[in-house]
Structure 1
């Protein structure tokens, strides 16, 4: 039972690139719970490099020396157009240890139809944050080079002194208004007492 549960299981998939949903990455993952060695990946028909890669560049992950359980590798492959509508027979083989002679194998059909009709709403937060940081970096470079100027609102000691004076003035106004109200209330009470005493 322990031997059956402790096995590598390697899969290869396509996934939209996190920077652009019309470009695709190639992923290889060990979803099992044991390390896979000497991994070989075959596609039929063979994969082709996209516009951002040289046509003679090696296809990623055709051979991977080792992949730990729960780990994977990711590489840009192609824009969507060359992959659209295609289906690939994928065959992956590996060794459970370097000393093994028998290769284990996983074969399946990988269809780009899985991605038909998929839509995206916004970007990943990490991508948006990276873009904002790049924009900030560009602005700071322009400021450092003197091409832009930074407007700064400085809160100085004079500002603090002025704020203290304003607070003290408001306190005095509040105190005077309280005293005036108290005097008015006292005067009203005295008037009522006087009127009561003079009544027949």
Structure 2
């Protein structure tokens, strides 16, 4: 029985060259396979990144709940349709405060939807919704759409009201709020007039002159107080001198009698 080193030493140069060629071919084949897998994954990633993506979700505006349909992908989606299970119900729909069920977005779909586009439909008043036990708490939204290659896609989302129970948020004001405030200011300024109740009163003030007069009055007050203190001191000195003279006379008189 030959040992493994005997096998190795028994090989000729031509045999070793053949073995090396087979090894090189195997390594090249493996490298090509890995490169092929990487190229296929990179292509799939590029396709995925260039796809439209239609998202359906709840969004809140203070106590109002809206259904938002948006394209978060990188390319335009077409023939966008959204269906809900169970059918949408809300207190706003019951009271007629929203007509979303008759919206073309839901009845006929969206013909084209570019990247970043979003549609918002007012759906529910949250406090009223949480008082109702007969209305669904969750909905399953299914969005179907086509990409730029006309390939059909579908995405499913669960919209859950309980997610927002006890949910607090900070109200952020954007450019639309600023425009609204400017319109209100414009409406108010149009009412300004020179006469009547709609005018704007303007007060002018010479601050430097008023401050100078106040300083002068303060200095004059201090001088008056100082003069009053000096007069009081002089009066007190005179009284002390008069009393002292009387005491001296009394002492001299009675003292003189004692000496007699």
Scaled to the shorter chain, the TM-score interval is 0.5 to 0.7
Matched, 1:112 2:173: no
Separation in 1 of the partners of 2:181 and 2:85? 41
Structure having the higher helix fraction is 2
Separation in 2 of the partners of 1:10 and 1:80? 25
Alignment equivalent of 1:40, drawn from 53, 62, 81 = 81
Q: What does residue 71 of structure 2 align with?
A: 30
Task: Check 1:54–1:95 CA distance in 2 against 1; reply closer, same or farther (3 A cut).
Answer: closer
Over the aligned positions, Cα root-mean-square deviation in angstroms equals 3.7
Higher relative contact order (CA 8 A, sep 6+): 1
Q: What does residue 97 of structure 2 align with?
A: 52
Q: CA offsets, 1:159-188, max 9 Å, x none?
A: 69x86xx7xxxxxxxxxxxxxxxxxxxxxx
Q: What does residue 14 of structure 1 align with?
A: 58
Separation in 1 of the partners of 2:183 and 2:97? 22
Q: Structure 1, unaligned stretches of length 5 or more?
A: 167-200
Task: Check 1:146–1:70 CA distance in 2 against 1; reply closer, same or farther (3 A cut).
Answer: same
Deviates further, 145-154 or 59-68: 145-154
Separation in 1 of the partners of 2:161 and 2:103? 18
Separation in 1 of the partners of 2:129 and 2:113? 26
Task: Check 1:30–1:104 CA distance in 2 against 1; reply closer, same or farther (3 A cut).
Answer: same
User: Does structure 2 conserve the Cα–Cα contact (< 8 Å) formed by 1:48 and 1:59?
Assistant: no
Matched, 1:149 2:199: yes
User: Does structure 2 conserve the Cα–Cα contact (< 8 Å) formed by 1:28 and 1:61?
Assistant: no
The count of aligned residue pairs is 159
Q: What does residue 126 of structure 2 align with?
A: 80
Deviation at 1:111, TM superposition (A): 0.7
Alignment equivalent of 1:64, drawn from 105, 110, 113 = 110
- SS of corresponding position for 2:102: coil
Deviation at 1:23, TM superposition (A): 1.1
Separation in 2 of the partners of 1:47 and 1:60? 15
Q: Which runs of 4+ in 1 moved over 6 A?
A: none
TM-score (norm 1): 0.62
Q: Structure 2, unaligned stretches of length 5 or more?
A: 1-42, 131-135, 213-260
Q: What does residue 187 of structure 1 align with?
A: none
